[in-house]
């Protein structure tokens, strides 16, 4: 297993965070959050990956016990993660739409109802 | 091997499943149901969950209640199943959560008008998240429940879609908390890669006895990041004030009363069960004491400078979370017992104050200290309740906050932090004093109307109801119940001893792992006597007296500023601190990175 996917995961998390920190638009902020979350997908899937292994699908009759498959647990985790992500992204985007309706801007630098 | 499969072990899944099911039904049927029915069903559900949690607390007093879902029992320390492990601390948190949701729903009968059944469904989903988060014994489930309560909480915060600041607060809250959750998930992924496990007991079993390497340390810091964002540890706390300032009052009650303390609970639950066998407690404890002290100071100073009452209370929550972190950072059972009592007492006091803020908002359309100056004189009962809440926050004996504070101070002193009482008294006096100052100004019109300063959030906010001519009794009763609860924690004998027993089980990571994996109950727990001491009562009285002094100084502040040059010198520093709370989500995330790095440095550097 190469170290490459782990570097990609770390890089995705880093650019996602940098994007949120430097963001000039709330939609961009939400997208960058999704980018940061993609890091978790890459990390989880690469944890379970094995070279030359098959997908974890067992047909009938029951397969041999030491059948060589990739780890199904992390795939289930990733699916759960994607569902969570869809919910949170949709919610945050709807908030961004409402903010644009009320403030007429999506630039976080121009929102100043909460400070001090 | 014996896992109790009947009786109490079936209760834990119920506490999670029932509110989700009812929430789904309410969401589907709320259009067709009259408002009164929706109120009744939601409140009854929350009350039923409270009953379940109370039964769990009673059952777990004799030892942990372990439930392996669908009977997937472990073999030789390995299991593919998902486990719920209920110990008294987990059950106690679940009980407080369900009780607070019940009171919040009662308060909402006359409070939230527009939202219809959606509000109730969200509250019940939030409850399910809180229950699941406190009862689960599985790290990935903690992430899932964290996000469930997160999503419900973001939606509840931004419910007033007409109010611009409400949306901004919800947005900041959502971004910062979700990013924290994803950092936690990265840590969970690393732990899984390292051990092939996700359950707390299995993970702890796999890590115990090994020297911590960079991977374990990195996983620890990442997992903690999400929980400490929720737990509002400085400098990860910025979202909290924004969210609290804009969320409806009953939602604030849940945030400050249970959700934020639950973040610190989770951090230490995971430390004790997973990492206590590998990361040395001294290093971890020291890191939390340092960051907790910072949190307490930042929260207390910011609290004093607020004119928006809800934001003032929010910063007081930050300050108190700092104290909880210091108490838990003693990494022993006595400090943990103090934190437990303090958290429960604080939930009552702070919850009552937030509901009173809701009453003020409904009646006057504002929670602003300047605008309300002298206008609350006609609420004769409520202004005295505000005083009581302020004194409870200032740890006046016999409120439960004072008992918790005294236990925590003793434990911190014994753990070598002799200066801790100064921090505890200072934070109690400053936060309680800020509440008393607000109350004296708005309720009695003391002092001259304060000078308006720019650069602070005002307290003008959209009402959640039509303006009320008189305060409905259903809004006053929850306040009284909460204050009575805060009092009962300190007065009812045996609370200290029960907390001590619960704390001993909580910090016994090895016992937790052993019982969850083999089913063998742990031996009897030693319960040292822990209750009121003369010193504790005296220090409590001192902090309450200081709080009154702080309030008086705040009311006649111009005179104070002229006589005390130190106050004037501190003003520029305060201005810088205020400017950091910018409302800009990018700034908050940058600080979060700094905070996570600081935690990593504090825990990791001594290991080299």
Structural domain span for residue B361: 181-607
Q: Does A109 touch chain B (CB under 8 A)?
A: yes
Angstroms from B193 CA to nearest CA on chain A: 6
A26, A36, A112 ranked by CB distance to B179: nearest: A36
Candidate from A9-23, A74-88, B136-150, B570-584 with smallest mean pLDDT: B570-584
pLDDT tens profile B252-306: 999 999 999 999 999 999 999 999 999 999 999 999 999 999 999 999 999 988 8
Could B144 and A40 be called an inter-chain contact, meaning their C-beta atoms sit closer than 8 Å? no
Q: Does A78 contact chain B (CB < 8 Å)? A: no
The distance from CA B206 to its chain's CA centroid, rounded to whole angstroms, is 31
Q: What percent of chain B has pLDDT over 90?
A: 63
**Per the structure block, which two tokens stand in for B237?**
């706390």
Is B393 or B77 the better-scoring residue by pLDDT? B393
Helix (H, G, I), strand (E, B) or coil at B393: helix
| Inter-chain residue contact A29 with B147, CB threshold 8 Å | no
Q: Which residue on chain A is closest to B143 by alpha carbon?
A: A81
Is residue B338, in this structure, part of any structural domain at all?
yes
In this prediction, residue B19 has a pLDDT band, given cuts at 50, 70 and 90, of very high
Q: State the pLDDT at residue B351.
A: 96
Which of chain B's residues have a Cβ under 8 Å away from the Cβ of A91?
151, 154-155, 174
Is the confidence at residue A15, as pLDDT, over 80? yes
Size of interface A-B (CB pairs under 8 A): 139
Q: Is residue B42 part of a domain?
A: no
Q: What is the mean pLDDT of residues A10-34?
A: 95
Cβ-nearest to A84 among B147, B171, B457: B147
- B285, B389 Cβ separation under 8 angstroms: no
Q: Which residues of A touch B241 (CB under 8 A)?
A: 114
**B226 part of a folded domain:** yes
Q: For B532-572, how does the pLDDT look when each residue is reduced to its tens digit (9 = 90+)?
A: 888 899 999 999 999 999 999 888 876 666 665 555 566 77
Candidate from A68-82, B2-16, B350-364 with smallest mean pLDDT: B2-16
Give domain status of residue B444, yes or no.
yes
Write out B251-306 in H/E/C secondary structure.
HHHHHHHHHHHHHHHHHHHHHHHHHCCCCCHHHHHHHHHHHHHHHHHHHHHHHHCC
| Average confidence (pLDDT) over A72-84 | 90
- Could you state, in order of their start, the residue ranges of all structural domains in chain A? 4-54+70-110
Q: pLDDT value at position B6?
A: 47
Query: Average pLDDT in the B424-434 region?
Result: 95
Is B400 within the bounds of a domain? yes
The half-sphere exposure of A47 on its side-chain side, counting CA atoms within 13 A, is 27
Read off the pLDDT band of B5 (50, 70, 90): very low
* Residue B560 pLDDT: 65
B62 SS3 class? coil
- Prediction pTM value: 0.93
Q: Is the pLDDT of residue B58 over 70?
A: yes
pLDDT at A67: 66
The answer to whether residues B576 and B427 touch, using CB atoms and an 8 Å cutoff, is no
Q: Does B591 contact chain A (CB < 8 Å)?
A: no
B164 in contact with chain A, both atoms CB, cutoff 8 A: yes
- The answer regarding whether domain A4-54+70-110 maps to CATH 1.10.287.3510 reads yes
Nearest-5° Cα angle at B264, A32 to A45: 40
Q: What b/e sequence results for A2-30 when a residue is b if at least 16 CB atoms lie within 10 Å of its CB, and e otherwise?
A: eeeebeebeebbeebbbbbbebeebebbb
* Domain tally, chain B: 1
Candidate from A13, A21, A116 with C-beta closest to B581: A116
pLDDT score at A65: 55
- Are the beta carbons of A29 and B140 separated by less than 8 Å? no
Write down the ipTM of this complex.
Answer: 0.93
pLDDT at B205 over 50: yes
pLDDT, position B112: 73
Residues of A with CB below 8 A from B578's CB?
Answer: 115-116
pLDDT digits (tens, 9 = 90+) for B150-162: 999 999 998 877 7
* pLDDT over 90 (residue B76): no
Q: What is the pLDDT, as a whole number, of residue B2?
A: 41
Q: Which of residues 105-144 of B touch A (CB under 8 A)?
A: 140, 144
Q: Residue B513 pLDDT more than 90?
A: no
Instruction: Please give the residue of chain B at the shortest CA–CA distance from A14.
Output: B593
Of A17, A33, A102, the CB nearest to B178: A33
Name the closest residue on chain B to residue A13, using Cα atoms: B183
Q: Please give the Cα distance from B439 to B550 (Å, whole number).
A: 13
- From the list B594, B577, B592, the residue with the least C-alpha distance to B300 is B577
* Nearest CB partner across the interface for B169, out of A29, A109, A114: A114
Locate all alpha helices (DSSP H) within B394-472, ordered by sequence: 400-414, 420-444
Residue B272: CB atoms within 10 A of its CB come to 25
To test the contact with chain A by mutation, choose from B163, B178, B198 the residue with the greatest count of A C-beta atoms within 10 A, namely: B178
């Amino acid at each position: 297993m190469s170290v490459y996917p782990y570097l990609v995961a770390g890089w995705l998390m880093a650019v996602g965070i940098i994007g949120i920190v430097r963001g000039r638009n709330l939609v961009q902020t939400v997208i960058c959050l999704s980018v940061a979350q993609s890091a978790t997908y890459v990390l989880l899937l690469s944890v379970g990956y094995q070279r030359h292994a098959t997908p974890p699908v067992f047909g009938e009759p029951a397969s041999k016990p030491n059948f060589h498959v990739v780890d199904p647990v992390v795939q289930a985790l990733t699916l759960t993660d994607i569902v969570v992500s869809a919910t949170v992204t949709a919610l945050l985007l709807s908030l961004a739409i409402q903010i644009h309706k009320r403030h007429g801007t999506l630039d976080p630098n121009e929102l100043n109802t909460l400070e001090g | 091997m014996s896992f109790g499969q009947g009786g109490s072990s079936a209760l834990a899944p119920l506490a999670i499943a029932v509110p989700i099911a009812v929430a789904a039904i309410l969401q589907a049927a709320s259009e067709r149901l009259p408002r009164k029915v929706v109120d009744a069903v939601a409140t009854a559900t929350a009350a039923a969950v409270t009953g379940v949690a109370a039964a769990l607390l009673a059952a777990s007093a004799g030892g942990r209640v372990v439930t392996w879902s669908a009977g997937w029992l472990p073999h030789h320390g390995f299991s593919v199943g998902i486990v719920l492990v209920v110990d008294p601390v987990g059950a106690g948190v679940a009980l407080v959560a369900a009780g607070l949701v019940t009171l919040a729903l009662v308060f909402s009968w006359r409070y939230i008008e527009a939202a219809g059944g959606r509000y109730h469904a969200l509250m019940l989903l939030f409850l399910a998240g809180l229950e699941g988060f406190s009862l689960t014994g599985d790290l990935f489930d903690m992430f899932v429940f964290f996000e469930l309560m997160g999503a419900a909480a973001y939606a509840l915060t931004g419910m007033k879609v007409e109010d611009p600041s409400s949306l901004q607060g919800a947005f900041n809250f959502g971004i910062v908390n979700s990013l924290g959750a994803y950092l936690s998930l990265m840590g969970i992924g690393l732990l899984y890669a390292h051990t092939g496990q996700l359950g707390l007991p299995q993970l702890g079993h796999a890590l115990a006895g090994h020297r911590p390497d960079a991977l374990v340390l990195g996983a620890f810091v990442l997992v903690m990041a999400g929980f400490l964002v929720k737990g509002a540890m400085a400098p990860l706390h910025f979202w909290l004030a924004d969210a609290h300032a804009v969320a409806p009052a009953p939602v604030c009650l849940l945030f400050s009363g249970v959700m934020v303390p639950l973040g610190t609970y989770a951090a230490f639950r995971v430390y004790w069960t997973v990492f206590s066998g590998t990361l040395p407690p001294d290093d971890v404890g020291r890191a939390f004491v340092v960051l907790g002290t910072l949190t307490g100071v930042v929260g207390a100073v910011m609290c004093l400078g607020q004119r928006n009452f809800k934001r003032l209370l929010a910063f007081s929550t930050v300050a108190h979370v700092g104290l909880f972190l210091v108490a838990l950072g003693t990494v022993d059972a006595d400090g943990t017992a103090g934190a437990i009592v303090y958290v429960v007492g604080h939930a009552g006091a702070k919850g009552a104050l937030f509901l009173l803020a809701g009453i003020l908002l409904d009646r006057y359309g504002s929670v602003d200290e300047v605008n309300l100056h002298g206008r609350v004189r006609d609420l004769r009962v409520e202004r005295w309740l505000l005083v009581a809440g302020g004194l409870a926050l200032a740890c006046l004996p016999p409120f439960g906050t004072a008992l918790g504070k005294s236990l925590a101070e003793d434990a911190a002193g014994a753990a070598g932090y002799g200066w801790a009482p100064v921090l505890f008294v200072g934070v109690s006096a400053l936060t309680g004093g800020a509440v008393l100052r607000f109350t004296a100004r708005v309720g009695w019109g003391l002092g001259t109307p304060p000078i308006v300063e720019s650069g602070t959030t005002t307290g003008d906010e959209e009402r959640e109801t039509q303006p009320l001519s008189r305060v409905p009794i259903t809004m006053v009763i929850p306040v009284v119940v909460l204050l009575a609860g805060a009092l009962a924690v300190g007065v009812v004998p045996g609370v200290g001893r029960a907390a001590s027993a619960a704390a001993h089980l909580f910090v016994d990571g090895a016992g937790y792992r052993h019982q969850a994996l083999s089913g063998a109950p742990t031996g009897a727990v030693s319960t040292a006597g822990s209750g009121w001491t003369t010193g504790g009562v005296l220090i409590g009285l001192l902090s309450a007296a200081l709080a009154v002094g702080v309030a008086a100084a705040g009311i006649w502040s111009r005179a104070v500023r002229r006589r005390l040059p130190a106050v004037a010198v501190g003003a520029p520093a305060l201005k810088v601190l205020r400017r950091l709370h910018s409302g800009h989500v990018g700034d908050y995330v940058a600080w979060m990175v700094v905070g996570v790095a600081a935690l990593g440095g504090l825990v990791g550097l001594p290991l080299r």
